[in-house]
């Protein structure tokens, strides 16, 4: 188990070496849409945003059924509370609809994940943050219920060089209080972040959420997706938004879990220095 954990944490460091960064000398000034796109690719930027994810999981153990997961993920930066630190509050509120066999489904809210990242107010070439992660047992869908209050350490680090935004986010959650009957939480997650920006708000992204349930039976612990996304940052009725289409195939997954993920993401963006107005295509 220890070697698997070390492997997972090593992925975050390795992702910094995935691409040869081009020198900044001689690069053309970035357009407003690309500047804003890079902020959306930084999990701890000073950008207020409301991403909404529509996740469709299918194949694998689900066969021809679909596990639908709608995530509301508000990101709110808090400045001035600590002199040399900013607090970036990231929250994930999931709504799920899970097939339970015989044509029935279990639908409702899942557990809320709270991620208050503490990041230096002034960053160098490497942007980083640390957070105590909290999982709150708010699930109303029986199939998604854990009944567990969970906590664990989280970290994020990234660098921005030319058109590249590269880094990673990881955490591990452990149950510290439980209702007793529900399964406990012992979940590791790491998300490499590799983004290339073409200009005018267009970008390609590789950001799979790799996870391991350490309490699962041997051979059933890991979910390892591989794929990518194309993302466009633009404006609609003068409101900056980001639109993304993602596809991932799980190279490894628990027997009963899905093999494929198709995601549509819409993010409403609220720049701190007045509304940016990227040029529409």
- Mapping DSSP onto H, E and C, the string for 123-189 reads CCCEEEEEEEEEEECCCCCHHHCCCEEEEEEEEEEEEEECCEEEEEEEEEEEEEEECCCCCCCEEEE
pLDDT in tens, 77-106: 998 788 899 999 999 999 999 999 888 999
**Mean pLDDT (whole number) for 214-235:** 96
Q: What is the per-residue pLDDT for 25? A: 40
**Mean pLDDT (whole number) for 218-244:** 96
- The answer to whether residue 62 is domain-embedded is no
Strand pairing category for 85-101 and 112-120: antiparallel
pLDDT in tens, 130-139: 999 999 999 9
- The answer to whether residue 115 is domain-embedded is yes
Asked if residue 4 has pLDDT above 60, the reply is: no
Structure-block tokens of residue 37: 């796109």
Strand pairing category for 210-213 and 66-72: unpaired
Asked if residue 280 has pLDDT above 60, the reply is: no
Between 21 and 176, where is the model more confident?
176
Tell me the pLDDT of the chain averaged across its residues. Answer: 88
- The answer to whether residue 268 is domain-embedded is no
Residue 182 binned pLDDT confidence (cut-offs 50, 70, 90): low
Range of the domain at 149: 1-17+78-185
- The answer to whether residue 215 is domain-embedded is no
Could you give the 3-state DSSP secondary structure of residue 97? Answer: strand
Q: What is the per-residue pLDDT for 273? A: 59
Q: Are 194 and 217 in contact (CB under 8 A)?
A: no
Q: Shortest CA distance to 95 belongs to which of 54, 66, 147?
A: 54
- The answer to whether residue 125 is domain-embedded is yes
Question: 């994020």: which residue's tokens?
Answer: 156
Asked if residue 20 has pLDDT above 80, the reply is: no
CA distance 89 to 117: 6
Q: What is the DSSP letter of 27?
A: P
Domain count, the chain: 1
Asked if residue 176 has pLDDT above 70, the reply is: yes
Between 184 and 23, where is the model more confident?
184
Please compute Rg for the chain using Cα positions: 19
| Distance, first Cα to last Cα, the chain | 50
Least confident of 59-63, 155-159, 171-175, 268-272: 268-272
Could you give the 3-state DSSP secondary structure of residue 111? Answer: coil
- The answer to whether residue 71 is domain-embedded is no
- The answer to whether residue 247 is domain-embedded is no
Q: What is the per-residue pLDDT for 67? A: 97
């Amino acid at each position: 188990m220890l070697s698997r954990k070390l492997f997972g944490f090593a992925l975050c460091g390795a992702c910094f070496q995935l691409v040869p960064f081009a020198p900044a000398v001689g690069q053309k000034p970035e357009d407003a849409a690309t500047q804003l796109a890079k902020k959306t690719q930084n999990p701890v930027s000073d950008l207020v945003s409301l991403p909404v994810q529509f996740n469709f999981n299918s194949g694998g153990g689900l066969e021809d059924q679909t596990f639908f997961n709608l995530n509301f993920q508000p990101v709110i930066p808090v400045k001035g509370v600590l002199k040399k630190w900013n607090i970036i509050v990231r929250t994930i509120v999931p709504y799920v609809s899970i097939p339970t066999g015989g044509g029935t489904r279990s639908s409702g809210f899942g557990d809320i994940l709270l991620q208050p990242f503490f990041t230096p107010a002034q960053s160098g070439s490497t942007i980083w943050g640390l957070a105590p992660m909290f999982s709150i047992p708010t699930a109303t869908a029986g199939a998604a219920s854990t009944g567990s209050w969970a906590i664990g350490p989280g970290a994020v680090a990234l660098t921005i060089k030319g058109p590249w935004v590269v880094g990673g986010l990881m955490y591990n959650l452990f149950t510290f209080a439980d209702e007793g009957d529900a399964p406990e939480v012992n979940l590791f997650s790491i998300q490499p972040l590799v983004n290339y920006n073409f200009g005018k708000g267009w970008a390609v992204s590789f950001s799979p959420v790799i996870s391991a349930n350490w309490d699962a039976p041997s051979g059933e612990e890991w979910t390892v997706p591989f794929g990518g996304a194309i993302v466009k940052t633009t404006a609609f009725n003068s409101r900056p938004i980001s639109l993304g289409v993602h596809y991932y195939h799980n190279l490894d997954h628990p027997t009963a879990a899905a093999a494929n993920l198709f995601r549509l993401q819409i993010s409403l963006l609220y720049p701190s220095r007045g509304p940016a107005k990227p040029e529409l295509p």
